[in-house]
Structure 1
């Protein structure tokens, strides 16, 4: 069994990866980086994510202080998600990751894989 490591001793990259790990979190944050979005709209733009999985991922991001959730007391319930002040600090990183992905795709499409 691995030893438990204090947060202060963890590599900062590991901390970031632990927060952002999973298939959906970066995609969720990418869409939220464009502004506030409602649950159903977010589920639609993400594609084949289940309601349960999206709810779980959003709850984790909210607990970590990355996103905020605003509930409007109406019927049917309206819930909006947006990046928190802390979450907004990831926008430049997401933009750089997007640029890198485009460059990688461009490079790969011009290079034969042996």
Structure 2
């Protein structure tokens, strides 16, 4: 039996978090708020354009919020929303699977 992608129950999740770098951004933000520059340092190889696009998408999907901190110069921090934090169980399950897979291979 073939299931069309739009009928698969996990398609919406992969549409949100399946893009390259998106999972890693969320994984880092599960540990706490980070500034743009801290995310860049945590993700060697990501281009500034891609990071900005992924953050904008996550903000549009209400998985994170962008907080402007009044300072000179102004600082911006990114924090997961309640919806974003709900992914912690998913990421914990993936971490457990990776650990188990390493034991089995």
TM-score category of the 2 structures, normalised to the smaller one: 0.7 to 0.9
Any idea what SS the aligned residue of 1:104 has? helix
| 1:1-114 matched pairs, under 5 angstroms | 10-108=7-105
Q: CA deviation at 1:10?
A: 4.2
**Runs of 4+ deviating beyond 6 Å:** none
TM-score, normalised to structure 1's length?
0.81
**RMSD of the TM alignment (CA)?**
1.6
Aligned-pair CA distance for 1:100: 0.8
Deviation at 1:105, TM superposition (A): 2.1
Matched residues in 1 for 2:44 and 2:64: separation? 20
Q: What residue number does 1:111 align with? A: none
Task: In structure 2, list runs of 5 or more residues that go unmatched.
Answer: 1-5
- Structure showing greater radius of gyration is 1
Give the gaps of 5 or more residues in structure 1.
1-8, 109-114
Count of matched residue pairs: 101
